[in-house]
Amino acid sequence: GTSRPAADPEIAEKIANHPCYSAEAHQYYARMHVAVAPGCNIQCNYCNRKFDCANESRPGVTSALLTPEDALAKVKLVASEIKQMSVLGIAGPGDPLANPKQTFRTMELVARDCPDIKLCLSTNGLRLPEFADRIADLGVDHVTITINMIDPAVGERIYPWVVYKGKRYTGREASKILTEQQLEGLAALTERKVLCKVNSVLIPGVNDEHLVEVSKTVKDLGAFLHNVMPLVSAPEHGTHFGLTGQRGPSPQELKLLQDRCEEHDGAEMNMMRHCRQCRSDAVGLLGEDRGEEFSPETYQGRE
Ligand code: SF4
Ligand code: SF4
């Protein structure tokens, strides 16, 4: 599990009160997500854009968009009501780094007004190298990158296109750019001592065999934790337009793969087994969502 103690005291401090990085902390510390980032710069075949980013969230959920100012007001209100509130994450509903203005403005406001709250971010990684310095300078403690492949031949079955520096790429070229940026971004962050978690969506028959290699590669680049999540295949979510008839993994397949990633070549990777695939506006301890207690009327205009 995720409970292997970190040797480096700096890292130990960073994981101690983040509910997602420490299996112990998740019972005592709360996190919240604010949905400030609507757009996305890539297309995953399992995402239909009507719902929160499927790389971090449970499929089929739609979070209401907030401005950075309203997000700050909500953070302050939640922090005053939930004492264990320790982490603010930006995870959607699209890709946070495809919306840098809203994402960085939100984090700057929270860093200014709530210095005790740790900042956390998840991204598809396409623009990570570009923003690594800014992320580190802001004191962001944790970044989650969704990495489903390191081989463009696998990637082209998952990603129909990416838009990079204003240009649209398709086919294998799209996945080549994506994987290069993801791995470079991961290396840049770990070099800057930002703790990185990698999410991978397990898609049977597409990247299942490949994910062990992904796990090994991201570990070598300094990722601290690997979270293999099941593709949730439900026709009512309207997802998988490019993966027609694609099924999700069984719980046994998921566990087997997590075990294989944990123990490859005798090396050990920390695997996250308690991810709840939270909504991009989740509030509270992991496994509980108190988001409904904090409707817009309770915080809007309250900066
Ligand atoms: Fe959808 Fe997230 Fe993939 Fe963008 S990165 S296409 S929002 S699942
Ligand atoms: Fe933590 Fe997973 Fe929820 Fe993100 S989605 S806050 S990693 S439990």
Per-residue pLDDT of the chain (303 residues; tens, 9 = 90+): 344 445 577 777 766 666 666 666 566 677 788 889 989 999 988 887 777 777 766 666 677 789 999 999 999 998 888 887 888 998 878 999 999 999 999 999 999 999 999 999 999 999 999 999 999 999 998 999 999 999 999 999 999 999 999 999 999 999 999 999 999 999 999 999 999 999 999 999 999 999 999 999 999 999 988 999 888 766 554 445 455 667 889 889 999 998 888 876 555 678 877 666 666 666 666 666 677 777 777 777 665
Q: What share of the chain is helix, strand, coil (3-state, %, to 5)?
A: 35, 15, 45
Structure confidence at residue 244 (pLDDT) = 61
Rounded to a whole number, what is the largest CA-CA distance in the chain?
55
Q: Closest by alpha carbon to 190, among 129, 117, 149?
A: 129
Q: How far apart are CA 196 and CA 134, in angstroms?
A: 15
Ligand 1 close to Cβ of residue 190 (< 6 A) = no
Q: Helix or strand or coil: residue 10?
A: helix
Spacing, Cα 123 to ligand 1 middle (Å): 9
Contact 279, 90 (CB under 8 A): no
Structure pTM? Answer: 0.87
User: Whose atoms come closest to the Cα of 92: which ligand?
Assistant: 1
Structure confidence at residue 186 (pLDDT) = 98
Structure confidence at residue 25 (pLDDT) = 59
Spacing, Cα 91 to ligand 1 middle (Å): 10
Task: Please report, to the nearest 10 degrees, the dihedral formed by the alpha carbons of residues 45, 102, 167, 172 taken in order.
Answer: -30
| C-alpha distances in Å from residue 16, one per residue of 10, 202, 216, 220, 262 | 10, 28, 24, 23, 21
Contact 86, 117 (CB under 8 A): yes
Q: How far apart are CA 158 and CA 223, in angstroms?
A: 22
Contact 46, 280 (CB under 8 A): no
Spacing, Cα 49 to ligand 1 middle (Å): 7
Ligand 2 close to Cβ of residue 275 (< 6 A) = yes
Structure confidence at residue 3 (pLDDT) = 43
Spacing, Cα 210 to ligand 1 middle (Å): 20
Q: Closest by alpha carbon to 262, among 253, 251, 274, 271?
A: 271
Q: Find the helix packing angle between 251-262 and 211-220, rounded to 10°.
A: 40
Protein residue with its CA nearest to atom 4 in ligand 1? 40
Spacing, Cα 183 to ligand 1 middle (Å): 18
Q: How far apart are CA 160 and CA 173, in angstroms?
A: 10
Protein residue with its CA nearest to atom 2 in ligand 1? 53
Q: Are strands 161-164 and 167-170 parallel, antiparallel or unpaired?
A: antiparallel
CA 20 to ligand 2: nearest atom: 1
Q: Is the torsion defined by CA of 184, 189, 191, 196 positive or negative?
A: negative
Ligand 1 close to Cβ of residue 54 (< 6 A) = yes
Q: Closest by alpha carbon to 89, among 63, 121, 57?
A: 121
Question: Which residues, including other chains, have CB under 8 Å from residue 250's CB and lie 6 or more apart?
Answer: none
Helix (H) or strand (E) holding 199: strand 195-202
Structure confidence at residue 26 (pLDDT) = 61
Spacing, Cα 48 to ligand 1 middle (Å): 8
Contact 59, 112 (CB under 8 A): no
Ligand 1 close to Cβ of residue 94 (< 6 A) = yes
Helix (H) or strand (E) holding 271: none
Structure confidence at residue 2 (pLDDT) = 44
CA 276 to ligand 2: nearest atom: 8
Ligand 2 close to Cβ of residue 120 (< 6 A) = no
Ligand 1 close to Cβ of residue 40 (< 6 A) = yes
User: Whose atoms come closest to the Cα of 91: which ligand?
Assistant: 2
CB atoms within 10 A of CB 241: 12
Testing ligand 2's pocket by substitution, the residue of 26, 34, 56 carrying the most ligand atoms inside 8 A of its CB is 56
Spacing, Cα 113 to ligand 2 middle (Å): 24
Spacing, Cα 51 to ligand 1 middle (Å): 9
Q: Does domain 9-288 have CATH number 3.20.20.70?
A: yes
The label of the residue with tokens 């991978």 reads 200
Spacing, Cα 286 to ligand 1 middle (Å): 22
